[in-house]
Amino acid sequence: MSQQNFVDYVKMHIKSGNGGAGSNYMFRDNYTAKGGPDGGDGGRGGNVILRGNEQLWTLLSLRFRKHIKAGHGGHGGKSRSFGAAGEDVILDVPLGTVAKDFETGEVHFEITEHGEEQILMSGGKGGRGNVHFKSSTNQNPNYCQPGQDGAESWKVLELKVLADVGLVGFPNAGKSTLLSVISAAKPKIASYAFTTLVPNLGIVSYRDTRSFIMADIPGIIENAHQGKGIGHRFLRHIERNSCLLFMIPADTEDINKEYKILLNELEQYNQELLHKPRLVAITKSDMIDDDLKALLDEEIKIDAPYMYISSVAMQGITELKDELWEMMNAEV
């Protein structure tokens, strides 16, 4: 998926429909000159609804829909007839879409299942007709309720990518290269920071025709949770991954320090991420021999299993897939 077509954030002005007014009708016919109240209720205003669609992977279809407006409810009529309900607006969104209020940042809900529908903004209630106000002391009420106005405000939709394995690492840690060699995904690869500007998904083939989904999350840097770099735009995508694969190059200055920085960024963003199973891949290991690996083994002090891999030389890739598969299917 190209960078232009991947959209994981949209801001829209939402307006639900106004409720219809109740009717102030008095019953009349050829035989009744002064009948009692006979006005019906107004219809409710239209709702704006989000609906989960498993066929969608991006919010691209909503990118240019900046103003969403539902229909107004119809007015009540004679013979106690109800006004028609306003037309609802239903927006299909990918699974993992989170709806928020733009002004307050309040999270309304998250769409997680196919076909799931959630009301983003409710329409105004219809007004009651004069028939409701008849009483023993007021036989002919000459009034009714107006319909309630619909609500309107700016809303934000954010997408969290769903994958079995999320790749976590600094820019140029080898995440895109790994994804390109073990799946059909073709992410952009270059030797400068922030080559990847959108999450890339790849289907990884495994033994006996089995497979799993891997997500290359754009590079995180220190203090990304505070908005530094671009990692803060994509940390939310890690929330929906089953397990995490930390990637640290073998030639990095301090593997322990880099691991702690990555772990701290996840913790500062959402402590729940620390409960996900994780594995550390020491990448670019084709550049070091067995003696250097032995020295690194003595220096590495991290709280997660690790293994050496090389995407270019295809070293340790089969073993990596085996380990990831076990992690994903381990009984909790």
pLDDT for residue 303? 92
The residue type at 84: A
When pLDDT is averaged across residues 232-256 and rounded to a whole number, the result is 85
Task: Tell me the two tokens of residue 284.
Answer: 């670019």
Round to whole Å and give the CA distance between 202 and 187.
Answer: 9
When pLDDT is averaged across residues 68-88 and rounded to a whole number, the result is 94
29 pLDDT more than 50 = yes
Bridge partner residues of 202 (DSSP): 214
Cα distances from 92 to residues 57, 96, 106, 199, in angstroms, run: 11, 12, 21, 21
Predicted TM-score (pTM) of this structure: 0.71
Domain residue spans of the chain: 1-159, 163-328
Max distance between CA atoms of the chain, in angstroms, equals: 108
Round to whole Å and give the CA distance between 40 and 23.
Answer: 5
Round to whole Å and give the CA distance between 41 and 80.
Answer: 7
Asked: is 163-328 a CATH 3.30.70.1060 domain? The reply is: no
Q: How is 173-234 classified by DSSP, letter by letter?
A: SSHHHHHHHHBS------SSTT---S-EEEEEE-GGG-EEEEEEPPPP-TTGGGT-TTGGGT
Confidence of residue 326 (pLDDT cuts 50, 70, 90): very high
Task: Tell me the two tokens of residue 196.
Answer: 């990847």
Do the domains 163-328 and 1-159 match in fold? no
Q: Which residue has the tokens 């500007």?
A: 197
The DSSP call for residue 72 is P
pLDDT for residue 197? 53
pLDDT for residue 1? 44
When pLDDT is averaged across residues 239-260 and rounded to a whole number, the result is 91
Handedness of CA 258, 259, 260, 266 (dihedral sign): positive
CATH number of 1-159: 2.70.210.12
Round to whole Å and give the CA distance between 252 and 20.
Answer: 66
Q: What is the mean pLDDT of the chain?
A: 86
Give residue-wise pLDDT tens across range 41-60.
999 999 999 999 988 888 98
Confidence of residue 224 (pLDDT cuts 50, 70, 90): very low
Round to whole Å and give the CA distance between 50 and 157.
Answer: 10
Bridge partner residues of 119 (DSSP): 49
In terms of pLDDT, which residue wins out, 197 or 87?
87
Q: Which residues contact 325 (CB under 8 A, 6 or more apart)?
A: 206, 207, 210, 212
The DSSP call for residue 76 is P
pLDDT for residue 218? 72
In terms of pLDDT, which residue wins out, 195 or 130?
130
pLDDT for residue 229? 47
Give residue-wise pLDDT tens across range 167-193.
988 887 888 889 888 886 564 444 444
Round to whole Å and give the CA distance between 226 and 268.
Answer: 9
